[in-house]
């Protein structure tokens, strides 16, 4: 995976640093950091330079990343989906590790997390787990569930059974009592009553004529208030379309668009706050005008496929990472401006405003 361009970077890299403009963020009250899920480490990037601000060692590839409202604490899933790491994002230090494996009277309860979120105040973590009991000479599957963990005592407080296929948990904006639960369909978890209800059918839509939606939200967005993901839809007449689905995290309203192109299989998408444009990535980069549902600009990643696209905190730049060992800053016309070599291959990137 570490590809040919690595060599090239060695020459370009010093130039990039020289030409980097110092951060303008100081004028505002936050520090912008990009958290990139690497292999065996969380890579923290200061995008203003750009440079690697820190590299936080964890076990195995990093999966989910979620943050408190103030951005000062992050929750990271790693260790083959078995451990949640609580990270102080100001000091870039691990402050807590919660391992979710458990024992049963017949063996080990192997629990893997597919979707986790830290509460806005940083006191609790929520995790959707699949559960497999590993007995002496056989394996037994147990129902999957969402568990609530007290981060101080590391104790499991409550839990609720949840449908398999779930893979993203995300808090409703400005509402610490509601978790959006993304799986084959969208559910909502009322944390007061610990009750899960269907919010919207996506794989199982109310009306199949609206198309059966299929997405894999390994790259959830939402730090800017909009969670977004590429969506494939299959219609009863066999037609398959590709587009974007996004949700306003405050209102919970979901919108979708379908661009008029052969599906190519995009991995992630980001929608700006104003809902003017969306950006998608994999083997190609698209910029989509949301009103007209048209691809208004397209380009090709410079060094090969990239999984993750995100927007800078001020929404002036487009950031890419995921797949290879690179972080790319492009302008909104999809022209590459800066590239940074990372210590490992990567999966995704999150842009966080850390309050000062």
Residues of this chain that interact with ligand HEC (CB under 6 A) are 137-139
d(CA 268, CA 246): 11
Among 17, 26, 141, 296, binds another protein (CB under 8 A): 141
Among 14, 21, 136, 262, binds another protein (CB under 8 A): 136
Among 59, 134, 255, 294, binds another protein (CB under 8 A): 134
Assess contact for 215 and 205: CB atoms under 8 A: no
Q: Which residues contact 236 (CB under 8 A, 6 or more apart)?
A: 208, 209
Local structure of 339: helix, strand or coil: strand
Instruction: Name the phi and psi angles at 297, rounded to 5.
Output: -155, 140
Assess contact for 135 and 142: CB atoms under 8 A: no
Give the shortest CB-205-to-another protein separation in angstroms.
Answer: 15
Beta bridge partners of residue 2, listed in sequence order? none
* 223 contacts another protein (rule: CB under 8 A): no
**How open is the CA angle 283-289-292, to the nearest 5 degrees?**
125
* 110 contacts another protein (rule: CB under 8 A): yes
Task: State how beta strands 195-200 and 212-214 pair.
Answer: unpaired
Closer Cβ to ligand HEC, 82 or 284, answer by number: 82
Q: What is the CA radius of gyration of the chain?
A: 20
Give the shortest CB-311-to-another protein separation in angstroms.
Answer: 24
Give the shortest CB-315-to-ligand HEC separation in angstroms.
Answer: 39
Q: Which does 1 bind (CB under 5 to 8 A by kind): another protein, ligand HEC, none?
A: none
Tokens at 204, concatenated:
């199982």
Q: Near another protein by CB under 8 A, which window of 12-20, 109-117, 235-243, 331-339? A: 109-117
Q: Near another protein by CB under 8 A, which window of 23-31, 136-144, 268-276, 312-320? A: 136-144
CA neighbor of 191 nearest in space, from 258, 119, 254, 259: 119
Among 225, 252, 263, 304, binds another protein (CB under 8 A): 304
Q: Which does 107 bind (CB under 5 to 8 A by kind): another protein, ligand HEC, none?
A: another protein
Assess contact for 285 and 304: CB atoms under 8 A: no
Q: Which does 141 bind (CB under 5 to 8 A by kind): ligand HEC, another protein, none?
A: another protein
Q: Near another protein by CB under 8 A, which window of 17-25, 28-36, 90-98, 128-136? A: 128-136
Strand ranges, E, within 107-201: 107-118, 124-135, 139-150, 155-161, 168-172, 175-182, 186-190, 195-200
Instruction: Give the sign of the dihedral formed by CA 195, CA 200, CA 203, CA 205.
Output: positive
d(CA 285, CA 299): 5
Closer Cβ to another protein, 137 or 153, answer by number: 137
Closer Cβ to another protein, 245 or 354, answer by number: 245
Q: Near another protein by CB under 8 A, which window of 11-19, 105-113, 243-251, 290-298? A: 105-113
Q: Which does 165 bind (CB under 5 to 8 A by kind): another protein, ligand HEC, none?
A: another protein
* 132 contacts another protein (rule: CB under 8 A): yes
Residues 30-89 that bind another protein (CB under 8 A): 80-81
Alpha helices in 37-125 (DSSP H): none
Tokens at 273, concatenated:
């706050």
Cis peptide before 50 (omega within 30 of 0): yes
Among 265, 274, 331, 356, binds another protein (CB under 8 A): 265
Closer Cβ to ligand HEC, 139 or 235, answer by number: 139
Under the rule (CB under 8 A), what is the footprint of another protein? 3-4, 80-81, 107-108, 110, 112, 114, 130, 132-141, 164-165, 167, 184, 203, 214, 216, 265, 282-283, 300, 304-305
């Amino acid at each position: 995976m570490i590809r040919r361009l690595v060599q090239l970077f060695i020459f370009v890299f010093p130039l990039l640093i020289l030409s980097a403009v110092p951060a303008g963020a100081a004028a505002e009250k936050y520090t912008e950091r990009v958290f990139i899920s690497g292999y065996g480490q969380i890579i923290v990037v200061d995008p203003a330079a750009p440079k690697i601000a820190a590299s936080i060692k964890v076990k195995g590839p990093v999966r989910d990343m979620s943050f408190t409202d103030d951005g000062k604490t992050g929750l990271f899933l790693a260790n083959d989906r078995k451990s949640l790491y609580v990270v102080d994002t100001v000091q870039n230090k691990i402050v807590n590790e919660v391992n979710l494996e458990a024992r049963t009277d017949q063996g080990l309860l192997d629990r893997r997390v597919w979707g986790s979120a830290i509460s806005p105040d940083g006191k609790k973590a929520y995790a959707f787990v699949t559960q497999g009991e590993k007995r002496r000479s056989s394996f037994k599957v147990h129902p999957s569930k969402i568990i609530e963990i007290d981060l101080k005592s590391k104790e499991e407080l409550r839990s609720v059974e949840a449908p398999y296929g779930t893979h993203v948990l995300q808090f409703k904006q400005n509402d610490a009592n509601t978790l959006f639960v993304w799986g084959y369909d969208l559910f909502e978890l009322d944390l007061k009553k610990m009750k899960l209800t269907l919010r919207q059918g996506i794989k199982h839509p109310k009306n199949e004529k609206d198309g059966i939606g299929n997405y894999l939200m390994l790259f959830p967005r939402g730090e800017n208030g909009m969670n977004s993901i590429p969506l494939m839809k299959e219609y009863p007449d066999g037609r398959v379309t590709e587009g974007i689905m996004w949700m306003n995290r405050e209102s919970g309203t979901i919108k979708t668009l379908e661009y008029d192109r052969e599906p190519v299989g995009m991995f992630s998408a980001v929608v700006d706050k104003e809902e003017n444009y969306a950006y998608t990535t994999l083997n190609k980069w698209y910029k989509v005008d949301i009103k007209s549902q048209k691809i208004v600009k397209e380009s090709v990643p410079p060094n090969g496929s990239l999984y993750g696209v995100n927007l800078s905190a001020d929404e002036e730049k487009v950031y890419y990472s995921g797949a290879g060992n690179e972080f790319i800053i492009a302008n909104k016309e999809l022209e590459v401006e800066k590239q940074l070599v990372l210590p490992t291959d990567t999966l995704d990137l999150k842009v966080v405003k850390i309050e000062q």
